[in-house]
A and B are shown apart, each in its own frame.
Chain A
Amino acid sequence: MARLKYRPLNLGRWLVWGGTALLMILLPQILTAGFTLTLLSQIGVGIIFALSYNMLLGQGGMLSFGHAVYSGMGAYFTVHALNLISKGAFYFPVTLTPLIGGVAGAFFGVIFGYVTTKKSGTTFAMISLGIGEMVAACSLMFAGFFGGEAGISTNRVIGEAFLGISYGPSIQVYYLIVGWALICMVAMFAWTQTPLGRMANAVRDNPERAEFVGYDTHMVRFLTLVISGFFAGIAGGLSCINYEIVTAENVGALRSAGVLIATFIGGAGFFFGPIIGSIVFFTMVTAIGSITQAWAFYLGLLFLVIVLYAPGGFASLIAMHVPVIKARLMRRLWLPYSAALATGIALLAGLVSVVEMTYHFSTEAGANPNMKLFGLAFNVTHAAPWAVASALLVGGFIISRFAWNLVGRTWADIVHILQEQSA
């Protein structure tokens, strides 16, 4: 018997998804600078990868240090498939080749997952690290499959163009990535609503109770990992099409660390967290990476600050302010926030100066002691710039503590008012 159920149209959800789709489609038309298309493609692939990672970390409570294994294997299988297709070994549309990567990712999820998901927590983290290192070490052993140091390159323009789509120009690849990203985002969101997705949350929060209810926690974690591996594999396949080369880096520890950092910065507790995280991560890597060699240091610092002071990531910071805006209390926060911002800028300026000057001093002080920072030219071997920078750093630190105390007090007031309103 069919169940009749009245469901109102969820307008908000349609607006959010539709807006996201529209934005992703229109962005390359709005931002036309040379590097934006590369950056946007990176972000698109990164979103799929980070969302698949968050299935483990956010939804399943499994902290993985080796997630690049699944995306990397997906990329390798895709690259070999593309090469075989171009040789005419079999026919398969290029548009769908990320699926091959997905299946490969899921396959390795099945192989490694059964062992790794027996336990969660620290044990899972350790084994995932071990497996990641094992695969990375293997990648230099089996040169035939992994291509050794040089990696394996391919050509994504295969066969005749279909409706003018040859994947030659990078704008077409961008739209391919957008299409896959949208499908994967919807699919992964839908997954969180399935019984398995809900059970993953239950197993994350209270594995003992989940077992008492009659669920096999190992099985739930295992299935979560396999599905996560599938989506990671799709991301790997897309990155293979995007770059037309797959190297051992794709399965390496740095890639695993990157997705962890991106996901956590964005916020593992929210579905849209990893999306924000990927945007922030890749924009930082590209934008700051083009200015200074120390970008990884700033990224690590941002990650540590988030871990220490905002463990819910950017997403939780946004979510925190929604009830405040609804209660029209934001005006109370403007003053403390401006104080925090002003002192924060001083602190940041001091920090950046010290880091950049240290870097300049250690690399080329002997050859060229002059450097330029924030539009000022000075000599790093003199004491004066160091005095100014450390004064900014220490002074900024001290006054920003006052500003943050003010923010904290205001927040306590607001929480109090909100509680009274709801009571």
Chain B
Amino acid sequence: MEFFLISMLNSISYGLLLFMLSSGLTIIFSMMGVLNFAHASFYMLGAYFAYQISGWIGFWPALAIAPLLVGAVGMAVERYGLRTVHKFGHVAELLFTFGLAYLIDEAVHLIWGRSSVPYAVPPSLDGAAFTLFSTEYPIYRVFMMAVSISMLIGIYLTLTRSRIGLVIQAALTHPQTVETLGHNVPRVFMLVFGGGSALAGLAGVIGGNAFITEPGMAAAVGPIVFVVVVVGGMGSLVGAFLASLLIGVIQTFSVALDYSFVNLFAKLGITIGPNTPLAALWDLTISQTAPVLPYLLMVLMLIFRPKGILGTREG
């Protein structure tokens, strides 16, 4: 029970972090039809910016400044990069963001070095929030959840209640009409791209010190975020939310479970030795397969339900 509750809390906080990344990606995708490969790189930039800024003026200003900086970088990328390649089609846009991801990775290598940086949780958030059975649950995890949830509510209110949110929603489906009504749609695109990047940056600020801030963090989280977007259904925010939590649960629980087919067969009265056919496969424990599970889920999803959980269109 204790294991279950703690893991559940961890998966929710991880899932919410994933959602901060995938929500920006999903909005950008539904708006521009392009999957932003560099999205996870913005996440990494957020973590590194926060590390640098918190070294100068502390964590709390960094929490606000780093995402804004990342958002500014995102807007510049949209304005001077994506808009230029837009005329060459989606493949060119995808390639552009791919090249950008590569370049940001290398720039991070060059500026901050190849090993991880000591970006630590601020002392005011260090410690236990509450004790569940015998495990102390860290305040920082609770803080992460609070930031993610307030972010979530913020996005929801912006998209449904504010004027700019309504323009964004309209521009998603009818860009020409919105333009005819006198709104500057390219600028809306730029703002959305910047906003999505800022969200990724915020996820980096709070995720960077919860996990680890290193140059490989973008490559580690990027494909997972794509899995979330594909499993949730391309372009569906609610789908991305469900998929984020699902992937969070899968990844958190699977690392901790040490069962394999051998145990299962043993319960059924079959013993598996090293000479049984496919012994290497039956011997694998769930925790060993943990890195593969999200991708397996994605491939299975694409075979049986290509639309994703709540997607409206295929591809």
Inter-subunit contact B102/A141 (CB<8 Å): no
Residues of B within 8 A of A134 (CB): 292, 295-296, 299
Query: In the complex, A125→B298 CA distance in Å?
Result: 13
Q: In this complex, which of B33, B85, B98, B284 has the most chain A Cβ atoms within 10 angstroms of its Cβ?
A: B98
A170 within 8 A of B: no
Per-residue contact bits, chain A 280-296, to B (CB 8 Å; 1 contact, 0 not): 00000000000001101
Inter-subunit contact A63/B91 (CB<8 Å): yes
A241 within 8 A of B: no
B257 within 8 A of A: no
B107 within 8 A of A: yes
Per-residue contact bits, chain A 249-288, to B (CB 8 Å; 1 contact, 0 not): 0000100010011001000000000000000000000000
What is the CB-to-nearest-CB distance from B118 to chain A, in angstroms, rounded to a whole number?
A: 15
Interface residues of A in 292-316 (CB under 8 A from B): 293-294, 296-297, 299-301, 303-304, 307-308, 311
Interface residues of A in 124-162 (CB under 8 A from B): 125-127, 129-131, 133-134, 137-138, 140-142, 144-145
A119 within 8 A of B: yes
A183 within 8 A of B: no
Query: In the complex, A165→B269 CA distance in Å?
Result: 56
Give the interface segment out of B129-137, B194-202, B219-227, B237-245.
B219-227
Inter-subunit contact B113/A297 (CB<8 Å): no
Inter-subunit contact B284/A141 (CB<8 Å): yes
Total interface residues in chain A, CB < 8 Å: 46
**Nearest neighbor of B102 in chain A, beta-carbon distance:** A300
A92 within 8 A of B: no
Known A-B contacts A129-B226, A308-B85, A362-B110; A137 and B103 likewise in contact (beta carbons under 8 Å): no
Residues of A within 8 A of B175 (CB): none
**Nearest neighbor of A143 in chain B, beta-carbon distance:** B280
What is the CB-to-nearest-CB distance from B87 to chain A, in angstroms, rounded to a whole number?
A: 10
**Nearest neighbor of B297 in chain A, beta-carbon distance:** A130
What is the CB-to-nearest-CB distance from B273 to chain A, in angstroms, rounded to a whole number?
A: 15
- Other-chain residue from B85, B112, B302 in contact with A307 (beta carbon distance below 8 A): B85
Query: In the complex, A326→B298 CA distance in Å?
Result: 53
Query: In the complex, A259→B172 CA distance in Å?
Result: 34
Per-residue contact bits, chain B 88-113, to A (CB 8 Å; 1 contact, 0 not): 10111011101110110011011111
Inter-subunit contact B302/A115 (CB<8 Å): yes
A363 within 8 A of B: yes
B266 within 8 A of A: no
Inter-subunit contact A311/B98 (CB<8 Å): no
B314 within 8 A of A: yes
Known A-B contacts A125-B94, A307-B95, A311-B88; A300 and B103 likewise in contact (beta carbons under 8 Å): yes
What is the CB-to-nearest-CB distance from B86 to chain A, in angstroms, rounded to a whole number?
A: 11
Residues of B within 8 A of A297 (CB): 103, 106-107, 109-110
- Other-chain residue from B110, B112, B299 in contact with A127 (beta carbon distance below 8 A): B299
Residues of A within 8 A of B91 (CB): 61, 63, 121
Known A-B contacts A137-B291, A137-B295, A300-B102; A130 and B226 likewise in contact (beta carbons under 8 Å): yes
What is the CB-to-nearest-CB distance from A362 to chain B, in angstroms, rounded to a whole number?
A: 5
**Nearest neighbor of B104 in chain A, beta-carbon distance:** A300
Known A-B contacts A63-B94, A133-B223, A297-B107; A121 and B102 likewise in contact (beta carbons under 8 Å): no
Known A-B contacts A260-B98, A311-B88; A126 and B110 likewise in contact (beta carbons under 8 Å): no
Residues of B within 8 A of A61 (CB): 91
What is the CB-to-nearest-CB distance from B28 to chain A, in angstroms, rounded to a whole number?
A: 12
A110 within 8 A of B: no
B270 within 8 A of A: no
Residues of A within 8 A of B88 (CB): 311
A358 within 8 A of B: yes
Query: In the complex, A297→B315 CA distance in Å?
Result: 32
What is the CB-to-nearest-CB distance from B116 to chain A, in angstroms, rounded to a whole number?
A: 14
Residues of A within 8 A of B102 (CB): 257, 261, 296, 299-300, 303
Interface residues of B in 279-315 (CB under 8 A from A): 280, 284, 288-289, 291-292, 295-296, 298-299, 302-303, 306, 314-315
Interface contacts beyond A141-B291, A297-B103: sample of 6 additional A-B pairs, CB < 8 Å, sorted by A: A123-B314, A125-B94, A141-B288, A297-B106, A299-B102, A303-B102
* A interface residue numbers (CB < 8 A to B): 61, 63, 65, 115, 118-119, 121-123, 125-127, 129-131, 133-134, 137-138, 140-142, 144-145, 253, 257, 260-261, 264, 293-294, 296-297, 299-301, 303-304, 307-308, 311, 355, 358-359, 362-363
Q: List 18 A-B contacts (CB under 8 A).
A: A63-B91, A121-B90, A129-B223, A130-B298, A130-B299, A134-B296, A257-B102, A293-B110, A294-B106, A294-B110, A300-B102, A304-B81, A308-B84, A308-B85, A311-B92, A358-B111, A362-B111, A362-B112
Instruction: Report the 6 A-B pairs with minimum CB-CB distance, sorted nearest first.
Output: A123-B315, A134-B295, A300-B103, A137-B291, A297-B106, A300-B102
